[in-house]
Amino acid sequence: MVTDSCWNIVALNHTMEMLMSDVAGHLLAPANFLRIILHPEGMAPHLTNLPQVRYHVIRMLRRWSVITGDGRLRELEASVVGLPSAQDAELTKSEEAEFAASREADRLLLPIELYREGHLLTFFHIVTSFGERPGTLFSDLPSGPLSGIALESFLPANTETRFLLGSPAPVFPDAGSTSGPTRHTPPDQQHDNERKTS
């Protein structure tokens, strides 16, 4: 996937088209990847580690908007912070402190875990930046509006994900649907939720 300096999507490959197959139409014009991944009508319902991803994204946006002074990043931060939160999208204060202390929030390879059609798909998200574009913790960017692009790669983090993506059987049988996503809860989380409500 190729994105610009504000994470607007420039180009998608086949894998990303599949992963975004049930994103609501109003999120695609224009398509901003950070809004899509955190929006309740985007990819957020499928993320099993949504609180960690949300914390990481907002923290990153806040950092780069301060460093560069790019007003577009401040606007993007405000828009994703203000999104209607999906179930369990917020880290508690203790969880936030634990996550930050573990330094996982600073990892360049924060896993992205998506539960789709009964399968848990795990990816490493790797960003290669070109020009003036926030990408890694080590980017040296000028202040002011940015004008670069990035190649954002979602690489299978385990054998199961690699196998499912390469399987001839469709992992996403409803690809192309515009009805919007349904939140999927992994079986172990379903069991925990049932115990809490019983």
Q: How far apart, in whole angstroms, are the C-alpha atoms of residue 12 and residue 155? A: 14
pLDDT tops 60 at residue 189: no
pLDDT tops 90 at residue 26: yes
Q: Which amino acid is at 58?
A: I
Question: Residue 140 has which token pair?
Answer: 């040296």
- In this prediction, residue 73 carries a pLDDT of 85
- The residue-averaged pLDDT of 34-59 equals 89
Taking only the tens place, the pLDDT of each residue in 57-66 is 888 888 878 7
- The Cβ-side half-sphere exposure at 23, using a 13 Å CA radius, reads 23
CATH number at residue 176: 3.30.450
Residue with structure tokens 């931060």?
Answer: 77
Angle between helices 50-68 and 71-81 (to 10 degrees): 160
Model pTM? 0.70
- In this prediction, residue 63 carries a pLDDT of 80
Q: How far apart, in whole angstroms, are the C-alpha atoms of residue 21 and residue 143? A: 36
Residues 6+ apart with CB under 8 A from 44: 37, 38, 50, 54, 86, 89
Count of structural domains, the chain: 1
Q: Which domain holds residue 68?
A: 2-138+145-197
| DSSP assignment letter at 173 | T
- In this prediction, residue 179 carries a pLDDT of 40
- The residue-averaged pLDDT of 44-52 equals 88
